[in-house]
């Protein structure tokens, strides 16, 4: 039934509307970001570098969460599950099999993607949506927390400590303290994660998942297999989040049940994206640039509070409380997050 097409005048091949300027602009921005991240460790001191690493880990988690919950519209409140699987898989394989973290990281990502896809399949199969979907993911993350606390081979509540080699090796991702590679590696991982997001968001499966998020019924009426298209987003999301987990274990030489699967980890995956802008490419990075330094500052404040805040000494969970306040402020005043709101304002002005 394609007899209609040939007779019709086609839009000229050089029609300006055919140019995907968004894609080009995003890739240029990513290039600039890569350069900045490459130079940054050369000019800042070791203390800033450690804040930077934490910020980068937050950013990768946020980018991962955003793939499924932002672009895919499946709100996960259990991304700790995938972060933790990445962290534990990395630690376990490095300790037991002396595998390179590079390899262990990829295995962890594949593993997390498989688990995430299975969980999401169950949730979607039984039509869990919105808050129920979020609760189900939360329940799975809690299950993983309990497992990690009770499994002998994961060393129960003591967690796993990675061996220190005493020599520098890129292959084993170990360097002297303060070596710039500790920043360059997560920088590279973040750039890759953002690159995946940019290409995915403008590819066929990426567009499909956004269509299904906007209107599931309309998407299906246009031939989209909503389940399959969503599982692709989940797969990518879990893999990216697991990479963040793997690097976390590698950088801190340790992973325990709480650091991997604690509720605050799930919150940390959500906050950067919500703060920066859900479902936008740069939102999670913008959010992480706030959350990372803030988390570090709070940690320091608790360790050594000024005299008028002495009651905070040794209190835990203040970071989560601060995130909660930030979330409330954003939800009340900037629904689309910092980057999302700015982006809308700029587009509005352009159209006027």
Q: How far is the CB of 190 from other proteins (least distance, A)?
A: 24
d(CA 53, CA 57) in angstroms, rounded, equals: 6
Q: Contact region for other proteins (CB under 8 A) — 34-42, 214-222, 257-265, 325-333?
A: 214-222
Taking 3-state DSSP, the helix, strand and coil percentages for the chain, each rounded to the nearest 5, stand at 75, 0, 20
Residue of 10, 125, 127, 349 that binds other proteins (CB under 8 A): 10
Nearest Cα residue to 45 out of 214, 141, 154, 177: 177
Residue of 46, 96, 98, 214 that binds other proteins (CB under 8 A): 214
DSSP track, 252-315: HTEE-HHHHH-HHHHHHHHHHHHHH-TT-SSHHHHHHHHHHHHHHHHHHHHHS--GGGGGGTT-
Q: Please identify, using beta-carbon distances, which residue of 5 and 310 lies nearer to other proteins.
A: 5
What mask, x for binding other proteins by CB under 8 A, covers residues 275 to 304? Answer: ----x-------------------------
Helix (H, G, I), strand (E, B) or coil at 177: coil
DSSP track, 205-221: HHHHHHHHHH-HHHHHH
Based on the shown chain and the rule CB under 8 A, indicate whether residue 346 belongs to the binding site for other proteins. Answer: no
Residue of 192, 211, 301, 322 that binds other proteins (CB under 8 A): 211
Q: Are 335 and 273 in contact (CB under 8 A)?
A: no
Based on the shown chain and the rule CB under 8 A, indicate whether residue 13 belongs to the binding site for other proteins. Answer: yes
Based on the shown chain and the rule CB under 8 A, indicate whether residue 231 belongs to the binding site for other proteins. Answer: no
Q: How far is the CB of 229 from other proteins (least distance, A)?
A: 9
What mask, x for binding other proteins by CB under 8 A, covers residues 14 to 43? Answer: -x-xx-x-----------------------
d(CA 192, CA 59) in angstroms, rounded, equals: 12
Rounded (10°) angle between helices 130-150 and 80-97: 30
d(CA 198, CA 190) in angstroms, rounded, equals: 12
d(CA 89, CA 255) in angstroms, rounded, equals: 10
Q: How far is the CB of 282 from other proteins (least distance, A)?
A: 16
Distance (Å) of CA 16 to CA 11, 13, 19, 201:
10, 9, 6, 21
Q: How many CB atoms lie within 10 A of CB 199?
A: 13
Q: Please identify, using beta-carbon distances, which residue of 7 and 304 lies nearer to other proteins.
A: 7
d(CA 244, CA 10) in angstroms, rounded, equals: 47
Binding positions for other proteins, 114-133, rule CB under 8 A: none
Residue of 50, 179, 202, 312 that binds other proteins (CB under 8 A): 202
Residue of 45, 127, 171, 223 that binds other proteins (CB under 8 A): 223
Based on the shown chain and the rule CB under 8 A, indicate whether residue 98 belongs to the binding site for other proteins. Answer: no
Q: Please identify, using beta-carbon distances, which residue of 65 and 144 lies nearer to other proteins.
A: 65
Residue of 226, 290, 302, 334 that binds other proteins (CB under 8 A): 226
Residues at the site binding other proteins, with contacts judged by CB under 8 A: 1-5, 7-8, 10-11, 13, 15, 17-18, 20, 202-204, 207-208, 210-211, 213-215, 217-226, 279
């Amino acid at each position: 039934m394609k007899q209609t097409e040939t007779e019709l005048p086609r839009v000229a091949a050089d029609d300006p509307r055919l140019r995907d300027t968004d894609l080009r602009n995003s890739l240029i921005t990513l290039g600039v970001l890569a350069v900045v991240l490459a130079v940054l460790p050369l000019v800042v001191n070791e203390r800033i570098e450690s804040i930077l690493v934490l910020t980068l880990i937050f950013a990768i988690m946020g980018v991962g969460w955003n793939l499924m919950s932002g672009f895919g519209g499946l709100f996960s409140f259990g991304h700790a599950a995938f972060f933790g699987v990445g962290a534990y898989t990395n630690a376990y394989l490095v300790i037991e099999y002396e595998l390179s973290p590079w390899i262990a990281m990829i295995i962890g990502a594949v593993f997390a993607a498989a688990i995430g896809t299975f969980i999401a399949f169950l949730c979607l199969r039984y039509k869990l949506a919105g808050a129920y979907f979020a609760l189900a993911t939360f329940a799975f993350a809690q299950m993983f927390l309990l497992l990690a606390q009770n499994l002998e081979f994961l060393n129960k509540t003591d967690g796993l400590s990675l061996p220190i080699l005493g020599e520098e090796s890129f292959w084993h991702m170990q360097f002297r303290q303060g070596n710039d590679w500790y920043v360059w590696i997560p920088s590279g991982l973040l750039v890759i994660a953002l690159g995946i997001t940019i290409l995915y968001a403008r590819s066929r499966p990426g567009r499909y998942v956004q269509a299904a998020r906007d209107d599931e019924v309309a998407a299906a009426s246009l031939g989209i297999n909503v389940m399959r298209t969503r599982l692709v987003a989940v797969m990518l999301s879990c893999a990216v989040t697991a990479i963040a987990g793997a690097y976390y274990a590698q950088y801190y030489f340790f992973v325990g049940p709480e650091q991997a699967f604690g509720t605050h980890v799930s919150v940390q995956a959500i906050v950067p994206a919500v703060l920066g802008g859900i479902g936008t490419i740069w939102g999670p990075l913008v959010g992480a640039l706030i959350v990372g330094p803030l988390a570090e500052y709070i940690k320091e404040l608790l360790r050594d509070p000024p005299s008028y805040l002495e009651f905070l000494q040794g209190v835990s969970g203040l970071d989560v409380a601060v995130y909660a306040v930030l979330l409330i402020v954003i939800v009340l005043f900037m629904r689309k997050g910092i980057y999302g709101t700015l982006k809308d304002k700029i587009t509005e002005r352009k159209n006027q």
